[in-house]
Amino acid sequence: MIERIETGIAPSSSPVSDAVRAGKQVWLVAIAEDPQSGEIVAGGIAEQTRRTLENLDIAVRAAGGTLASVVQVQVFLIDSADAKGMNAVYAEFFASPYPVRATVVVQQLLAEGLRVEMLATAVLD
């Protein structure tokens, strides 16, 4: 049985949750959207990665954890050239030992102008 976590981030118009919990595990998804308006933030990969990770932080804290609780991250980029910029910002948010991570380049993401999306798993104490 899963429990939806209220993160305070603007809800999607799609039938999805941005954070759910089952026992001590939490699954989260984050994009580069303003948490109040839901609008995609302007800028390049650094700005979008920063907002995505800030939203991930908001969501994991709403679940009762921190970014240190994150054990796995899946990153979706629309351009492999963005990996370097994404990694630079990612390293500001996570410290060693880093979560297990897969980075995948996709043709496009659903929201217009979106360059990065992250799916994460956290384990709470």
Q: Report pTM.
A: 0.96
Domain count, the chain: 1
* pLDDT-based confidence at residue 75 (cuts at 50, 70, 90): very high
| pLDDT tens profile 28-66 | 999 999 999 999 999 999 999 999 999 999 999 999 999
Assign residue 117 the CATH number of its domain: 3.30.1330.40
Q: Which domain holds residue 13?
A: 3-123
Q: At what angle do helices 45-62 and 83-93 cross, to 10 degrees?
A: 40
Ramachandran bin of 92, using left for φ above 0, alpha for ψ from -120 to 50, beta for the remaining angles = alpha
- pLDDT beyond 90 at 14: no
Q: Distance (Å, rounded) from C-alpha 2 to C-alpha 5?
A: 9
